[in-house]
Structure 1
Amino acid sequence: MGLLDYPELVLLIPLIAYIVRRRGKDILTPTNWPVLGMLPGVLLNLHSPHEYLTQFFHDRGTTLEFKGPWFSGMNMVFTCDPANIHHVFSRNFSNYPKGPHFRKIFRVLGDGIFGADFDLWEVHRRTTLSQLSHATFAAHLEATVWRKVEAGLLPLLGAFCERGSEFDLQDLFQRLTFDNICKLVLDHDPCSLSLELPHIPCEKAFSAVGEPLMYRHVIPEFIWRLQAQLNVGRERMMSDAARVFHDFIYPRVGLASEEEKGFNMLRAFERVYEEKNLGPPSGLRDFLKDTSLNLMFAGRDTTSTALTWLFWLIAQNRATEAKVREEIKAELNLKNKNKWRFFTLQESHKLRYLHGALCESLRLFPPVAMEHKAPLRPDILPSGHYLESNSKLIVSFYSVGRMQSVWGEDCLEFKPERWISPSGKIKHEPSYKFPAFNAGPRTCLGKEMAFIQMKMVAAAIIYHYHVELVEGHPVYPRDSVILQAKHGLKVRLSAIDS
């Protein structure tokens, strides 16, 4: 947290730290202070908010009331209780729209599917589902991902391996998924994953918005609104990113909507906009821009983040790496590196142990670390906590996977076997226990798309290389709504002898 970010709060931190230590309090202990409420603990742990919140749950139980400073409007309830998640996301879904406060925080996403409620959300969901279920989509997805692996990823990895260079694997994953989602949504390949590693502002802007969005949850609204008006600190990052998104997407929306050839997702949204009279003709391109941005946000950040943590975990578990490699060879009938070949969505279902490893990574490091809800009507959660109308409920998906009460005493261990049944099939856990793809009616529609992309990418790397972590490089989650590695994932490669 720098002086240019939140100077008003930074000035309070030395005083708060002094008071906390004079009173003999551990800075990790959630304490409700006079006037300041529980905000001091938050400010002193902004460098690791997800771990702090998880510690909070360990100390106080899986649901807790957070008291903000007087008159700040920051009182809220935090939970990682699966019973509460099931109640809010499924059983009582209609009472928990995203709500106006969510839309204020995530205004950069406009009227896309993430912030939409009610009829507009239904339109987005039905249209997206129809496109993902389209007869040609699976083949289009497979071809798009495979081309990027073959022409972009493997040549780059080969060059790094030959030179013995250190590189940021997370950066490569972000470039790869950005190129793929641009091709699927905009029918445009920006080629950010190439030997030149070009700087493309839009690709980097997705990472830039994560921290401001997180901080909007934990500081008083009037502060971040003032910063937005003054265009300073993290709000300046948000403003710059919004402009970059507009400049990159807006011209391509017009081009994409005019083309009929092949698979065209935006053309379907254009037809729905006109048929449902969602707005005036002049608003069509803004609607398509917001739609594209939301789909790109989901396709770039979540998949690249899941792959990053998968390889961080596998690099520390050589037995897992060996099992995945042997499964790839056996199930895809690959005898040596010269046999490496394209495999389909259906063939990817054979890679059960790799699927289990991905699920374990997603359990421990869900890309979307938290969700924000607000009840339309007063409600009582299964945990017994009362919520007033439009009060704030924050659900920590990150903490769910780290609760012994949910996953057992070995909840912090990386065990792909957790997902394999005695008969060798994949175990399916309910979404309220495993909310990596959200839960209930808002469960991610791109789940299958994410798994095929992750399996193609992970299989290509593990079949060809050992991935070795660079010693001394710090790897831990960012203070962001997307659980990226704060300093990337620095690695070296060594080739696998066939």
Structure 2
Amino acid sequence: MLFYATIIASFLCSLYLFHRRRSSKHPLLRDYPILGMLPPVLFNLWRVHDFFTEVVTKHGGTGEFKGPWFADMNYLVTCDSLNVQHMLCKNFDNYVKGHDFRDIFEPFGDGFVTADYETWKYIRTILHSLMKQPRLKAFFDQTVQKKILTSLLPILDHAEQHGRVVDLQDLLLRFTFDNIFLTTVGHDPKCLSIDFPVVAVEKAFRVSEKSIFYRHTVPYTVWKFQKWLQIGQEKKMTEACRTIDKFIYSLIESKREELSKCTEEEMNEAPSDMLTVLMTEHGGSEHDDKFVRDFAFNFLVAGRGSMASTLTWFFWLLIKHPIVEAKILQEIRDNFKKNDDRGHGFDEEQDPSQSVSGEVSGMEEVKKLVYLHAALCESLRLFPPLPIQRKQAVKADTLPSGHIDQELVWERSRLFFK
């Protein structure tokens, strides 16, 4: 009996000593034996961004998070503006996304979301060049205006006439998904319609995003094991990626076939989607289907979620601040009033989002709306669509706050911008 008691006591002492050795100097949360600091995060998973904002702020802007023992989920979390500036500007080359990041964001392939160093610079150069293309800008303008007039406004009118309650976030997700698909690959998935249909490829994107979030909440070995067995969320991820890849690769194939039949003059003059411009510019013929697929996938995901999130929070804030809403409407009236230089405008009682001619204002016209621009920027400051950025230090580094670590996660919370 004494032998077993000695074994148990030795085991408990070993656990205690291990726990003491891994204890943080600047803990964000209570560090439980075996489970680490994960329990309070799981209890607050439904409000995880607000939760981390509150916790990090309480600890002066920076602190350590320790995951379950042997789970390799240990991070330094910060919303300190000086730390963020140090990582993203002053010592940028020392902070990369790293191998673990690319593993978690596997569906993104080698696109700009997961790229580092020269690959990232190369893709960034291509993106900047694409955005300056007049035919791409023209296509963006035409596409967004058409989608607003033929889908968004009719659905809102239908909801008003029938007294129907609409989930604004779902509506805007569908609106931005259709727009980003049209402008990126030239295909309309038609998610935005009165009956709010379930579209397979849109559902697959949602599943993939949910699966990536899931990978952040469990130990690396757990989701890797699930992937190997093809069970749980990882099975859903595999099926979703298969649906997305099949869809994108088929579009690439049809696009290459379509371009092979066009003359150089037709390709260079007509308004074109991003995929067409990419495949006809910047040595497009040298890029294989995998590169084009990764480029398209990254842009689709980045554009869909960020724009829908921004618009959702923007309209929510307008509801909370009617004075701001009134100023935005007044600015629109002042800039697009009747009998202006272009010969069209709107009446005082007409919806300011539309002109008398039934056309939605284009990009160049909207640039006049300075107050609206400021309101959107304020929405982004308060509710950034990409609230967390994960970075890993290549070499040990001391942050301006005095903290030292090898792997960092900075939270771009609303408090960081205050």
Q: Compute the TM-score of the two structures, normalised by the length of structure 1.
A: 0.69
Q: Post-superposition shift, 1:88?
A: 0.8
1:356 corresponds in structure 2 to 374
**Cα separation, 2, equivalents of 1:331 and 1:267:** 35
1:367 and 2:380 equivalent? no
1:344 and 2:359 equivalent? no
1:308 corresponds in structure 2 to 312
Q: Percent identity?
A: 37
**Cα separation, 2, equivalents of 1:373 and 1:272:** 32
**Cα separation, 2, equivalents of 1:343 and 1:271:** 29
Query: Measured at CA, do residues 35 and 199 of structure 1 come closer, stay the same or move farther in structure 2, by a change above 3 Å?
Result: closer
1:169 corresponds in structure 2 to 168
Deviates more, 1:153-162 or 1:262-271: 262-271
**Cα separation, 2, equivalents of 1:91 and 1:365:** 25
Q: What code does the residue aligned with 2:130 have?
A: Q
2:275 corresponds in structure 1 to 266
Q: Post-superposition shift, 1:267?
A: 4.3
For the 8 Å contact 2:130–2:136, the answer to whether it is kept is yes
* Per-residue Cα deviation, 1:433-491 (whole angstroms, up to 9, x for no partner): xxxxxxxxxxxxxxxxxxxxxxxxxxxxxxxxxxxxxxxxxxxxxxxxxxxxxxxxxxx
Query: Measured at CA, do residues 146 and 276 of structure 1 come closer, stay the same or move farther in structure 2, by a change above 3 Å?
Result: closer
Match of 2:415 among 384, 398, 402: 402
2:292 corresponds in structure 1 to 288
Q: What code does the residue aligned with 1:396 have?
A: E
* Per-residue Cα deviation, 1:44-94 (whole angstroms, up to 9, x for no partner): 222221121112112211111112222221111111111111111111111
Query: Measured at CA, do residues 312 and 369 of structure 1 come closer, stay the same or move farther in structure 2, by a change above 3 Å?
Result: same
**Cα separation, 1, equivalents of 2:83 and 2:93:** 15
RMSD: 2.3
Deviates more, 1:137-146 or 1:33-42: 33-42
Q: What code does the residue aligned with 2:408 have?
A: L
1:135 and 2:150 equivalent? no
**Cα separation, 2, equivalents of 1:148 and 1:82:** 39
1:209 and 2:227 equivalent? no
Q: Post-superposition shift, 1:268?
A: 4.7
Q: What code does the residue aligned with 2:76 have?
A: V
1:393 corresponds in structure 2 to 408
1:328 corresponds in structure 2 to 332
Query: Measured at CA, do residues 70 and 276 of structure 1 come closer, stay the same or move farther in structure 2, by a change above 3 Å?
Result: farther
For the 8 Å contact 1:306–1:361, the answer to whether it is kept is yes
SS at match of 1:395: strand
**Cα separation, 1, equivalents of 2:289 and 2:225:** 30
SS at match of 1:378: strand
SS at match of 2:393: coil
Q: Compute the TM-score of the two structures, normalised by the length of structure 2.
A: 0.82
Q: What code does the residue aligned with 2:113 have?
A: F
SS at match of 2:408: strand
Deviates more, 1:129-138 or 1:99-108: 129-138
Q: Post-superposition shift, 1:345?
A: 2.0
1:382 and 2:396 equivalent? no
Query: Measured at CA, do residues 123 and 271 of structure 1 come closer, stay the same or move farther in structure 2, by a change above 3 Å?
Result: farther
Q: Post-superposition shift, 1:198?
A: 2.7
Query: Measured at CA, do residues 369 and 236 of structure 1 come closer, stay the same or move farther in structure 2, by a change above 3 Å?
Result: farther
* Per-residue Cα deviation, 1:109-144 (whole angstroms, up to 9, x for no partner): 111111112222222111111110112222221111
* Per-residue Cα deviation, 1:131-187 (whole angstroms, up to 9, x for no partner): 101122222211111011011111111111110101112222112111111111211
Q: 5+ residue gaps in structure 2?
A: 1-27, 338-345
SS at match of 2:360: coil
* Per-residue Cα deviation, 1:376-398 (whole angstroms, up to 9, x for no partner): 1111111111123xxx311111x
For the 8 Å contact 2:145–2:362, the answer to whether it is kept is no
Q: 5+ residue gaps in structure 1?
A: 1-28, 279-283, 408-498
Q: What code does the residue aligned with 2:274 have?
A: M
Alignment of 1:96-495 (within 5 A): 96-258=95-257, 259=259, 260=262, 261=267, 262=270, 263-270=272-279, 284-333=288-337, 334-336=346-348, 337=350, 339=356, 341-388=359-406, 392-397=407-412, 399=413, 401-402=414-415, 407=418
For the 8 Å contact 1:227–1:233, the answer to whether it is kept is yes
**Cα separation, 1, equivalents of 2:403 and 2:278:** 40
SS at match of 1:48: helix
Query: Measured at CA, do residues 324 and 271 of structure 1 come closer, stay the same or move farther in structure 2, by a change above 3 Å?
Result: closer
**Cα separation, 2, equivalents of 1:122 and 1:382:** 27
**Cα separation, 1, equivalents of 2:276 and 2:47:** 42
Aligned residue pair count: 368
**Cα separation, 1, equivalents of 2:233 and 2:382:** 27
**Which structure has the larger Rg over C-alpha atoms?**
2
2:17 corresponds in structure 1 to none
For the 8 Å contact 1:257–1:266, the answer to whether it is kept is no
Q: What code does the residue aligned with 2:347 have?
A: K
2:5 corresponds in structure 1 to none
For the 8 Å contact 1:127–1:268, the answer to whether it is kept is no
**Cα separation, 2, equivalents of 1:51 and 1:126:** 35
**Cα separation, 2, equivalents of 1:75 and 1:300:** 30
**Cα separation, 2, equivalents of 1:148 and 1:55:** 39
SS at match of 1:167: coil
